[in-house]
Amino acid sequence: MQTAHLDLFAWRNLPPKDEWPDLRFTLPELQYPDWLNCGVELLDRHVMEGRGGRIAVRAPGVAWTYAELLDKANRIARVLAEDMGVVPGGRVLLRGFNSPMMIACWFAVMKMGAIAVATMPLLRARELRVIIDKAQVNACLCDQAIAAELDEAIPGHQSLRGRVRYWNLADPTSLEGRMARKDGTFANVNTSATDVALIAFTSGSTGGPKGTLHFHRDVMAATELNTRYLVKATADDIFCGSPPLAFTFGLGGLVLFPFRVGASTLLLERAAPDVLLKAIQEHKATVCFTAPTAYRAMLASVGRHDISSLRLCVSAGEHLPKSTWEAWHKATGIKIIDGLGATEMLHIFIASEGDGIRPGATGKVLPGYEARIVDDQMRDMPNGTIGRLAVRGPTGCRYLADPRQANYVKQGWNLTGDAYLRDADGYYWYQARTDDMIVSAGYNISGPEVEEALMEHAAIRECAIVGAPDEDRGTVVKAFVVLKEGAKAEARELQDFVKARIAPYKYPRQVEFLDALPRTESGKLQRFRLRQPPA
């Protein structure tokens, strides 16, 4: 083991080596030195090579250059090391909205060889306590605006005594107050390429959240493949979007990818559809990362904004319905990239861009990754057959001290929990989550296929399909439907509508109307909540 870590908690809580995925570094650009610090590569390098005057981070009323961001990250790193006693390998909980300070804190943690544990802003105290305990967090940096839940979570954690700092606080003890007394230089820690850089927590629907460990090398590999082959980013790009930086989709799209090429990122604390569209118009953003739900919501007002600066839109977090893709393309002329990623894989590994996009298909495997469609015994299944998606490449799942590692990695392959089919041209077509495939009276029914059919109805704003228990058929298709404002529709009307478009046995035998679908903070649909019986 080679490591710069003095605190070996992460090393000691990696899964057994024989449960790791088979990591592949098949491309020349994935050959990394033994010692590598992703923070230095993504931030310091630009200043060292003369690009310090370029704008790195934009926000309403804020524009920091690479040199200014580096200065702030260095000062925060000194606060962590000198005032808070954090050592390489220590876990630092980061809690804030998408803001320049959140990025400065993340880079500070990277540069000092510690481990970032970023958390969603809307998490409650009981959820934060679980993360603090599982990651044995040593220190916290938090936006004062969302301090209440953290303040409630930290009592009883002796390791955090005197190791919490807040920003956006007019007080000499605040993070900014401490930073003002520090020098703007910092001796970066020369981490091993396989030192853990971050612990990304997934919102497990059963058994509690799972922490996924990612190395400095993983950060650089996912960044390199996405910027080179999918986004094709340049230094002139301005990235924007809505996913939280604590969500690896947001970390990649709003930090890693722009900083890989010396581009600029635009951060919005609350990127509601109209706010995001207005910001794109004002700042001439060129690349947008957000969820399918947001693209759908923006359709109502996209015509009232000048978003002609956009050259690329990327969607992830859940399947992008073909109807949403077509409506966005018709309204803007932009072909949305539908990317499949996972917290366990760090970022997108299946997607297509430009003329390679086939509406409705997720796309092809990104260079550097491999994928298979397998059955429950890990046997390959022929093209055109629905099966489990297995993937491997330079990144992969390593859960923090969690027996569920053995469920995610089989025979060196990551099993993402998605049911897919692959066509003869190598395109992957999403069918459902493996636990969302509905078996009703012996028929296999893909929930997203029924959703696609329902979404063609003029009255529907969004919908979700799950399986519901049924005494006669075992399980039946149930639709949860949100109607557009002012629209009306009855269950029988929607059922007949679906029967006319897909095989009649697939129609939703139960229909429930809701005001909104339950979603995570990152916009991902919480199907498990729809399956729960009414209270």
Can you spell out the DSSP letters for 107-128?
HHHHHTT-EEEEE-TT--HHHH
Task: Tell me if 11 is assigned to some domain.
Answer: no
- Over range 135-154, report the average pLDDT: 96
- Over range 277-283, report the average pLDDT: 97
Task: Tell me if 22 is assigned to some domain.
Answer: no
The predicted pLDDT at position 444 comes to 65
Instruction: Report pLDDT digits (tens) over 90-123.
Output: 999 999 999 999 999 999 999 999 999 999 888 8
Residue 477's φ and ψ, nearest 5 degrees, are -75, 125
Instruction: Give CA–CA dist 132/153, Å, rounded.
Output: 9
List all residues 6 or more positions away from 420 whose beta carbon is below 8 Å from its beta carbon.
Answer: 362, 373, 386, 387, 388, 389, 428, 429, 430, 431
Task: Tell me if 80 is assigned to some domain.
Answer: yes
Q: Cα dist. 83→74, 402, 407, 485 in Å?
A: 13, 33, 41, 54
- Over range 471-499, report the average pLDDT: 92
Q: How far is CA 38 from the centre of its chain?
A: 18
Last residue of a domain, one of 152, 175, 190: 190
Question: Which CATH number is 109's domain given?
Answer: 3.40.50.980
The 3-class SS string of 166-208 reads EECCCCCCCHHHHHHCCCCCCCCCCCECCCEEEEEEECCCCCC
Dihedral sign for Cα 370, 374, 379, 384, please. negative
The count of structural domains within the chain is 2
CB atoms within 10 A of CB 130: 15
Instruction: Give CA–CA dist 324/442, Å, rounded.
Output: 31
Instruction: Report pLDDT digits (tens) over 356-382.
Output: 999 999 999 999 999 999 999 999 999
Task: Tell me if 207 is assigned to some domain.
Answer: no
Task: Tell me if 244 is assigned to some domain.
Answer: no
Instruction: Give CA–CA dist 288/310, Å, rounded.
Output: 7
**Percentage of residues in the chain with pLDDT exceeding 90?**
80
Predicted confidence band of residue 534 (pLDDT cuts 50, 70, 90): low
Last residue of a domain, one of 175, 190, 205: 190
Contact 95, 303 (CB under 8 A): no
Last residue of a domain, one of 131, 156, 190: 190
The predicted pLDDT at position 383 comes to 97
Task: Tell me if 310 is assigned to some domain.
Answer: no
Contact 10, 213 (CB under 8 A): yes
Dihedral sign for Cα 410, 416, 417, 420, please. negative
Residues, the chain: 535
Instruction: Report pLDDT digits (tens) over 172-195.
Output: 999 999 999 999 999 999 999 999
> In this predicted model, which residue has the larger pLDDT, 127 or 239?
239
Q: Which of 461, 454, 436 is nearest to 530 (CA)?
A: 436
Task: Tell me if 372 is assigned to some domain.
Answer: no
Q: Which domain holds residue 455?
A: 438-531
pTM of the model: 0.87
**Residue 82 scores a pLDDT above 90:** yes
> In this predicted model, which residue has the larger pLDDT, 157 or 279?
279
Question: Which CATH number is 499's domain given?
Answer: 3.30.300.30
Predicted confidence band of residue 75 (pLDDT cuts 50, 70, 90): very high
The predicted pLDDT at position 205 comes to 45
Q: Tell me what the pLDDT averaged over the chain comes to.
A: 94
- Over range 322-331, report the average pLDDT: 94
**Residue 204 scores a pLDDT above 60:** no
Q: Cα dist. 522→58, 141, 254, 458 in Å?
A: 21, 21, 14, 27
Task: Tell me if 451 is assigned to some domain.
Answer: yes
